[in-house]
Chain A
């Protein structure tokens, strides 16, 4: 039936969306009031004018800009590397025939089920042995490739590149690498963008591995962690804390507003084929 949905459907959806947005609203709200006002009962439900004061206090408490820069570097490096390696391997698995491709792909899919946390202890020891602890390289290394990336690109390239196009390029005397570059890469571009976005967000929001790998250096999540620790014990400074989370969340919110459509498409596409 192609009935138009009624008010109930919109009402329920709106309730869900409000529930999704409310905690964020709350953090921006409390973050814009003074420390004392934030503890009032009932709490302030409208924005106050003290966000910049609180932001200034955040900048005094943690090295926010350095942490932001570090997160940006690590996320960009990981996302770029995952996209490059996954596109190459995914193309090979989707379009080229070679001995052992079946078992190798099966292996990749299987490792997707293995939790990364399983290896934090040995990874920590390795980083320590190679004197990489407390460097950004240590944060980036474990995410330079992901099995998911290869799987994702393979699924996408399977349909996105017609075999005839590859044959035609070969016929024109293109080497395999050139064929990859002129035929596969242009077709893979939308999927590459989505994979980049996903990996970027995954690394940006990760807390556990940087916590293990870093000591003095900070990514954004570790800096937030430190911010939470400063007020611990006595009465927590909610205004400071929530101003900090708001500041750390804004960059991804901007990215989300700019790329929301692609993200949604990506999730829905990946699921259809997964």
Chain B
């Protein structure tokens, strides 16, 4: 880069106009190839300056517009369309939209006992997955946040399950949790316990599904926590341990409050993901309908939307259910956000 001396003074950050003028004046001193000065050169100069000005003004919009154009078509439009559909009747036979029926679809969904059941299932699976997940992830991060030999090896190993597709994970865990011959049940009976019917009993099925989710995401979250923990100054720990605070106390009273923004970030993202679980209950089901168990004992809300919308083709009702799911997610996110803020507030040692 060979910027002329005069330009150096103009190139202050945030001084765009000066820069442009400087660039222009440089062109003035050194007319473009073939420019003979005089009126023609001046006009060309003007044109070039105008082009540069438009370039500066338009380029940002040109750079962001491809994203927004595609996003509008494949992201925003379907969302708006969901809202539109949720307020209309739908003729399944003629495959046409019926009349405007206001909030009837919402009323129908809220009255559907299956929807309520799927809501409870979703909450239950979410609680069983996210709480242990975050607790174990923080613990693993605290273990990793030390002067380990081969730290890169440990970090990569912890991430291993993340590359396994949920589909593959359910199939693998499905065989482990098989009701008759599964490894888990064999271990249980080998220590004298009764085998558990993982695919049949409601809360146990939730536990099995949660274990797959936890398996895949705990290490990933641990790395996010680790990143935040490494930013905590080491001197803080030194003075704390001089004061006689043990490892656990340090974690609870220093680390957690100091990585608060990350706690909030992870808990919010885990909440959003955990409330949308679909693949696991769909594939864990070994009945023919695959609607979350013979008695829908582990049907989640996303599965409900899928079954009502894609399989049964009740587009209006499914869209209403989708919006209810969204509102549900938002409210749980807000609750968890508040809870995390409260839990990680600064406490005296």
Interface residues of A (CB under 8 A from B): 1-2, 4-5, 9-10, 12-13, 16-17, 19-21, 23-24, 26-27, 30, 39, 41-43, 85-86, 88-89, 91-93, 96-98, 101, 104, 111, 113-115, 117-126, 141-142, 144-145, 147, 150, 163-164, 167-173, 175-177, 180, 201, 204-205, 207-208, 211-212, 220-221, 224-225, 228, 232-233, 236, 238, 241-242, 244-245, 248-249, 252-253, 255-256, 260-261, 263-264, 267-272, 274
- Which of B22, B75, B163, B178 is in CB contact (< 8 Å) with A111? B75
Interface residues of B (CB under 8 A from A): 1-4, 7, 11, 13, 16, 19-20, 22-23, 26-27, 52, 55-57, 59-61, 63-64, 66-68, 70-71, 74-79, 81-82, 85, 136, 139-140, 143-144, 146-148, 152, 154-169, 171-176, 178, 181, 183, 186, 215, 219-220, 223-224, 226-228, 231, 234, 237-238, 241, 262, 265-266, 272, 276, 278-279, 282-283, 286, 288, 302, 305-306, 309-310, 315, 318-319, 322-323, 325-326, 329-330, 333
Q: Are A86 and B168 closer than 8 Å at their CB atoms?
A: no
Rounded to whole angstroms, the CA-CA distance of A122 and B319 in the bound complex is 8
> Secondary structure of the A side of the interface?
helix
Q: Which residues of A contact B326 (CB under 8 A)?
A: 114-115, 118
Q: Are A92 and B283 closer than 8 Å at their CB atoms?
A: no
> What are 22 contact pairs spanning A and B, CB under 8 A?
A13-B158, A26-B176, A26-B183, A42-B186, A86-B67, A93-B64, A117-B276, A117-B278, A119-B82, A120-B305, A144-B70, A171-B1, A176-B63, A205-B165, A207-B278, A207-B282, A224-B168, A236-B175, A249-B168, A260-B159, A269-B227, A274-B265
CB distance from A240 to the nearest CB of B (A): 11
Rounded to whole angstroms, the CA-CA distance of A221 and B330 in the bound complex is 29
Q: Which residues of A contact B315 (CB under 8 A)?
A: 121, 125
Rounded to whole angstroms, the CA-CA distance of A171 and B5 in the bound complex is 11
> Secondary structure of the B side of the interface?
helix
Q: Are B63 and A92 closer than 8 Å at their CB atoms?
A: yes
Rounded to whole angstroms, the CA-CA distance of A268 and B237 in the bound complex is 22
Q: Are A119 and B161 closer than 8 Å at their CB atoms?
A: no
Rounded to whole angstroms, the CA-CA distance of A245 and B160 in the bound complex is 15
Rounded to whole angstroms, the CA-CA distance of A274 and B262 in the bound complex is 8
Rounded to whole angstroms, the CA-CA distance of A94 and B305 in the bound complex is 38
Q: Are B13 and A241 closer than 8 Å at their CB atoms?
A: no
Residue of B nearest to A224 (CB): B167
Q: Are B325 and A121 closer than 8 Å at their CB atoms?
A: no
Q: Are A121 and B63 closer than 8 Å at their CB atoms?
A: no
Residue of A nearest to B269 (CB): A274
CB distance from A35 to the nearest CB of B (A): 13
CB distance from A204 to the nearest CB of B (A): 7
- Which of A2, A104, A125, A228 is in CB contact (< 8 Å) with B64? A104
Q: Which residues of B contact A245 (CB under 8 A)?
A: 167-168, 171-172
CB distance from A222 to the nearest CB of B (A): 9
Q: Which residues of B contact A91 (CB under 8 A)?
A: 63
